[in-house]
Structure 1
């Protein structure tokens, strides 16, 4: 049952990431061509600032999911209602705080960007982009927590996929008719927020016993503070680059942020594709850990890490060889700033590799709720990122903040591997490191080969897709063969696991 739920979640999340990737690639290009790089940079920058303000959520969602694993496994409806009632209460408080912070940002942000764009439009954009997050706080968050904890995150993923597709269509139609940018975002966001209705209908039908007004049990969320700390660190590490570029670059900050945003489109799409595996598995691992099934945990984790390392290696090869041709084609009609920067493309590829290297171990840490135990390592990651980025941004610009991110990811990824081996999936370090070294050596060899095989001056997306398919297939075959030879038993176990899920 757990395997089937995990497979449903994985498929739904992979599909969602494909839809989000499509949206993330298509819409920014329409916005850049219709409204200019400055507006695109402003939207990217505002979204990063809103991510910081999203810390008002205070770790409620993460802590609630962890708290629900055990009562859901035991079918303790009263305990589930008590936790969800506390979750609703915390979310409402967070929503009020977030709204206040958004109003402050709307006032100060136009001053921060030195009035590079009309202040009224910028303030309105801040409010529009923040509106979907407000709906999450006041209405959607408590439902998503329940579905995620009960391994039904695929429901939210499917509904969100539908909303994203509608968002793409509506936005393109409005841009085509020369609609003001703020109205495009407002209408599209309004349509997207309708997903709340579908989620609510499903939850009310699936869980008739649900009572969000039961006696709240806030003490059931002991990890809320530690989860918030990790959330703060995650926001700092993932969003500091754009914030520092906006504040420290100066007069042309929005143009540089637009350049960063284009490369980050690719990195974000790859990251979301990779984390779609974990979105479907965290709840399942959480149930296994809560029941103390150590042998099952060890075997499941071994299969998960084995296939994850292979997929990551294939993705990194494709990204390293194809990111510059993609940016060149994507921005060929833009002349207000130079987008094709080989060093930036290489650094983003390294970031994606190091960021995702930790994901298998981090999945287990999150499933076990070990937020408090790993708080100091998380703080160190954020400090490394900020200090190195600030030291280098003056001389190196975008490359400086990317190097800061690389340093922080490199430290934290290997720390996660060591912590997971020591405290959760015991003695997994040797196997993990052997998999890392094996695939890393092959990545280096194939990367050098792919740079000579894939032209970096492609002029059409058709040719780009042809090279992407060829490179993807070649990488899949080579990594598959090497990893099968290295670990034939693991490959056979993985095949049998997939076969059981499909046929039973």
Structure 2
């Protein structure tokens, strides 16, 4: 088997297992989230969403190291250099041992501070202990899971991580269901979840250290860590994108409003996970091609992947614009402590996710090549735009204002990434990306317009009627995408179809 075929095969395995994992996450997420809101109320759901997001902010001290380490490992794996791999991982181990103490302090600070800023009718100590319970799994991930994930990702063995996480997610959902139906309180429910989440990094640690011979006697190589600040700048916009809305909604709105926001984002995240099915394993493949200077192969593969992303954006988020409010009307039926029917919120989130998704091909290429320093300014600017606009608009427009700030920031960063990749990495015209974007806008507009026209005859009152509406909407979007692809991107459609057939046969 050729090197390129082996890369494609590993990427395909990762994509298949990622698909299974994402489906499980989506299904279990919808079931458990509805159970939590129904049993413990929207206020607790909002509080848990805030705590989870605040804990995830600790990634700001991790992401620079993780990205730089991953890029360094692409080279050591491509050269089959076990000694260099050990040196890189040993440096990472030493770094994470140092920041473990800071993580403990951070969790304690959150436990003391979150109860003071969150607008919820819940006692101080209840929120305090909830932070400690949820923070336990974060500490376990920091101690045992991060290096294991990096090793498996850089070697294109993500499928093993996906399998383990799939099993854990199903187990977690079953345990949560049993605790809730047995009359357990919110603390018992979240403690059970945290217990399962603690086991994941431990299993990954055992597995990865059996697969790779990490020699602890090799001196740590801190070369990769020196690039961590450039990597952090590149990833800062993603960190801000995922957390700034929740921060300002927590401060300026109620916990119930945060619950509404989080429930809509469950839908958006579920659709975004479909993109992760495609991207899972591709960065490592791009990194391998870049390290071997296979630029023609890289350009061809990127073009195919680019077409897939734009087409999927139309299919998934165009459908979300049409279907998310009818979905909420059924999904959150009988939940009356806050209004979950927010059309403008659903549309704005869909637009924000489209713009976030469109930059994925360019982000992956920049990350795979290690060009973090070259694009770090754009990362800082986007983060600044997002924070400033969100802070201003959330006060005036509530949670919709927070999303509008994200939309503007996403648009800026997508343009910056597209221009950089086109001009400095692939030597192609930026107008190609502009044409694809115009194609996407036309496809979404036509698809959404036709769908609304047809669905005026259907009243969604239960799951059966919603599924009917979803099938019709998806069919309309699919036909529009295929028609416009045949007219404007016939070769891309043909090449992607052939690639998929080859992977299935191989």
| Shorter-chain TM-score above 0.5 | yes
Post-superposition Cα deviations, 1:300-350, rounded to whole Å, max 9, x if no partner, equal 111111122111111122101110011111211111111111111111111
Q: What is the alpha-carbon distance in structure 1 between the residues aligned to residue 410 and residue 133 of structure 2?
A: 32
2:54 to 49, 58, 63: 49
Q: SS of 1:271's equivalent?
A: helix
Partner of residue 412, structure 1: 413
Does residue 75 (structure 1) correspond to residue 77 (structure 2)? The answer is no
Runs of 5+ consecutive residues of structure 2 not aligned to the other structure? 1-5
Task: Report the RMSD for the aligned CA atoms in angstroms.
Answer: 1.7
Matches within 5 A, 1:133-148: 133-148=138-153
Distance of 1:351 and 1:318 partners within structure 2: 14
Instruction: Give a deviation string over 1:20-43, Cα, whole Å, max 9, x none.
Output: 212221111111110011000000
| Cα distance in 1 for residues equivalent to 2:386 and 2:282 | 29
Which string of whole-angstrom CA distances, capped at 9 and with x for unpartnered residues, describes residues 366-392 of structure 1?
A: 111111111110111111111111222
1:106 to 102, 105, 111: 111
Q: 1:116 deviation in Å?
A: 2.2
Q: Deviations over 1:183-239 (max 9, x none)?
A: 1111122123322343234323322x2224531111233321112233333222221
Aligned-partner Cα distance in 2 for 1:425–1:15: 33
Deviates more, 1:91-100 or 1:402-411: 91-100
Q: Which residue of 2 aligns with 1:459?
A: 461
Q: Match of 1:199?
A: 204
- Judge conservation of contact 1:417–1:432 (CA < 8 Å) in 2: yes
Deviation, 1:164, is 0.6
Deviations 1:440-491 (A, max 9, x none): 2021011112123235852212322232223223322331232133233223
Distance in 1 (CA, whole Å) between partners of 2:387 and 2:409 is 9
- Superposition TM-score, scaled by structure 1 size: 0.95
- Whole-angstrom distance in 2 between the partners of 1:212 and 1:187: 34
Distance 1:65 1:115 in 2: 41
User: 2 CA distance for matches of 1:77 and 1:457?
Assistant: 61
Q: How many residues align?
A: 500
Match of 1:356 in 2: 357
1:101-154 CA-partner distances (Å, limit 9, x unpaired):
111110111111256212222111111212222111111111111110011111
User: How do residues 100-499 of structure 1 correspond to structure 2 at under 5 angstroms?
Assistant: 100-113=105-118, 116-207=121-212, 209-212=213-216, 214-249=218-253, 253-427=254-428, 429-454=430-455, 458-499=460-501
CA distance, structure 1, for counterparts of residue 415 and residue 459 of structure 2: 36
CA distance in 2: counterparts of 1:385 and 1:197, whole angstroms: 36
Label 1:293 to 1:394 Cα distance change in 2 as closer, same or farther (>3 A). same
CA distance, structure 2, for counterparts of residue 266 and residue 400 of structure 1: 19
CA separation of 1:201 and 1:58: change in aligned 2, threshold 3 A: closer
In the alignment, structure 1 segments of 5+ residues that lack a partner are: none
Would you say the 8 A contact 1:98–1:134 is kept in 2? yes
2:349–2:403 CA contact under 8 A, matched in 1: yes
| Residues 220 and 59 of structure 1: CA distance in aligned 2, closer, same or farther (over 3 Å) | closer
- Larger mean Cα displacement after TM superposition, 239-248 or 118-127: 118-127
Q: Bigger CA drift: 17-26 or 210-219? A: 210-219
In 2, Cα distance between the equivalents of 1:41 and 1:457?
Answer: 30
Q: With the length of structure 2 as denominator, give the TM-score of the two structures.
A: 0.95
Q: Is the 8 A contact 2:233 2:377 kept in 1?
A: no
